[in-house]
Chain A
Amino acid sequence: MATTTAVVRVVGAGVMARPSRSLWSNAWWTLRRDRLTIGAFCVLLMLAALSLAAPLFSQYVFHYKFEQQDLLHTYEKPQLDNLAYLLGSDEIGRSQVVRLLYGGQISLFVGFTAAFFNLTVGVALGLSAGYFRGLLDDILTWVITTLNGIPQIYLLLIIAALWRPGPFTLVIIIGLLNWTGISLFVRGQTFALREREFITAARTIGARDRRIMFRHILPNVLPLIFVLAAIDVGAIILLESALSFLGLGILPPTPTWGNLLTNAVSYFVRAWWLVVSPGAMIFLTVLCLYLIGDGLRDALDPRLKTH
């Protein structure tokens, strides 16, 4: 981050200039006192850790593999006698708790990877469109309004039903569909920043466009991108679980929180407890992400909260 330039906080109305490092230290100070956000962050870390450690849990704590079946112990109630059935067992005797832990791996992987794609595409396109304007901007706006014209989950479900992508293709598809919000935001910010004096100054010196975009504009947009990122990951986890629930995303025997609910209708009468745990995990994870996003936004730019 350039030390000579002032960091400009761009807001709907006025523009304020502050000494360069205080945005981050200010934010950190606010965050440190925001117990809710810190709490959410800790819970999220814990969930991630649990998921990553799923193989260890499976082997040493529950002594039960995720695909392991036991046709004699189907639809077991949650119990303490057999730790593997801590949260019950499903229609072919698999351990719900073990599958839940493994499921976290997929959900978090898809969430973060697809969000990364979204951000890359969104930021790149938004920066370019906002900076260069003209034809590039018009084309981009056309693409964005076109994509936004189709209800998102609708489009995703139709594509998934027609194409039946595998897990990696799925990540790419979600990555390519979800970036419009981010790019619109970045584009808007770039627009406004572009006219600021420090940019004009840089251009007068003769700095190349790419340098200006990446060294001057991007860092100013970056903080709020984190906010978008947190929310994006949450949204993607919800999307992926809806897809898997409908039998379109990741298919069994690989467990994901979504596809643990695909057979939920058969569980209603026999084993309703199997419906509670996967959804609760999704809810918890996404809630933490949204709270973190909210908290970051409060810390980085509280004035945005009203919009």
Chain B
Amino acid sequence: MRDFIIRRLLYAIPTLIGISIITFLIARLSPGDPIRLFTFGIRDFTQADYEHLLHVYGLDKPIPLQYVDWITNALRGSFGESLIYHRDAFAMLIERVPATLQLAIAALLLQLVIGVPLGVLAALKRGSWIDGAIRVFGVAGHAVPAFWLGLILIIVFAVHLRWLPSIGLLTVGHDQWDIVDRIKHILLPAFVLALTGIANYSRILRTETLDVLAQDFVRTAHSKGLRERTVVFVHALRNALIPVVTALGGILAALVGGALVIEQVFSWPGVGQFTFQAAIAKDYPIVQAGVMFTSTLLVLSYLVRDLAYAMVDPRIKVS
């Protein structure tokens, strides 16, 4: 087991290096540059000034040298300074992490709270129209474009019914600890983010529950006289949730990465939206920090998931 952990950790290193190279290249090789962007139209700003600024920010060095500079600094913990905000890129990124994390966790909760019961219900009511509807939802939930669903929900709940807000995470002027206000803001984006997960879980739980229901120990429990519902919830669920729990880390990380579009739709001030705006403004340090951060999170979460699988089910091959 220890060997396995060490081996997996070692495998993660070349992956992270590969990710850093990709991240760096997609940023620095892209056409155009940020200096031209933020100095467009400034009075008296000459070509000479432009070349000077390029030099000051180290953008005129050959790409491999820039990469070496960047990676050595990154290993020391510094991802550089934002070209536009002149503040530490990583620090700015971290400021945004709580917002995205809240969204991802809320989505995860919704997935479990809605998806799991749906799946169990479908299994229990197998063959009925409820089962059919949930199974259709299981597929349809993946086919809905997330951004469109967000827009429709905004139109229904924010514009017409005015029950829920559509922008940001807090109403301007409200206290940070106004929980009710925060829940109102997080409800719609978290639901949209959770949708594919809900569909997934309903399918997985349905299958797992069906499997479990057919097994011997259930029949034994039945014969003991326990009510079906108890049997299901106590025994079936416990086994069925194993794959769910072990995948939690990966799901969380994936949610962090996948929240970008939803953050855009709801103007949610998270990491994804921040990195995206930085990409539009070509603020390289932030883009690079953002991608590295999300990717490292994902890679680590895969590691944790593999470990969890290995610990939970020794039958599964570990290499």
Contacts and interface: CB of A to CB of B under 8 A. Distances in A.
A264 B19 CA distance: 35
B309 interface: no
A159 B26 contact: yes
A272 B159 contact: yes
| Tier of interface size on chain B | 35 or more
A211 to B, nearest CB: 30
Contacts of A162: 26-27, 30, 279, 282, 287
B16 interface: yes
Nearest to B277: A161
A103 to B, nearest CB: 13
Interface stretch (A18-26, A71-79, A92-100, A147-155): A147-155
A146 B257 CA distance: 15
A158 B279 contact: yes
A147 B291 CA distance: 12
A146 B11 CA distance: 11
A275 B151 contact: yes
Interface stretch (B53-61, B136-144, B174-182, B224-232): B136-144
Interface string A161-192: 11110000000000000000000000000000
A204 B261 CA distance: 54
Task: Give the one of B11, B143, B254 with max A CB within 10 A.
Answer: B143
Interface in B139-173: 139-140, 142-149, 151-152, 154-155, 159-160
Interface stretch (A3-11, A195-203, A279-287): A279-287
B14 A286 contact: no
B16 A149 contact: yes
A290 B276 contact: no
A143 B257 CA distance: 19
Contact of A149 (B15, B256, B290): B15
B105 interface: no
A278 B148 contact: yes
Given A162-B27, A242-B146, A283-B144, A154 B139 contact: no
A161 B261 contact: no
A145 B142 CA distance: 24
A261 B147 contact: yes
Task: Give the one of B160, B253, B276 with max A CB within 10 A.
Answer: B276
B148 A261 contact: yes
Given A157-B260, A159-B26, A264 B151 contact: yes
B18 A142 contact: yes
Task: Give the one of A154, A155, A245, A279 with max B CB within 10 A.
Answer: A154
Given A268-B159, A282-B148, A286-B143, A158 B291 contact: yes
Nearest to B207: A306
A181 to B, nearest CB: 14
16 contacts: A142-B14, A145-B11, A145-B18, A146-B19, A149-B15, A150-B295, A157-B261, A158-B26, A162-B282, A163-B26, A164-B31, A268-B155, A272-B155, A279-B145, A287-B139, A291-B139
Interface of B: 11, 14-16, 18-19, 22-23, 26-27, 30-31, 139-140, 142-149, 151-152, 154-155, 159-160, 207, 211, 253-254, 256-258, 260-261, 264, 272, 275-276, 279-280, 282, 287, 290-291, 294-295, 298-299, 302
Interface of A: 142-143, 145-155, 157-159, 161-164, 234, 238, 241-242, 245-246, 261, 264, 268-269, 272, 275-276, 278-279, 282-283, 286-287, 289-291, 294, 305-306
The 8 closest A-B pairs by CB, nearest first: A151-B257, A279-B148, A146-B18, A161-B279, A162-B30, A287-B143, A286-B143, A154-B257
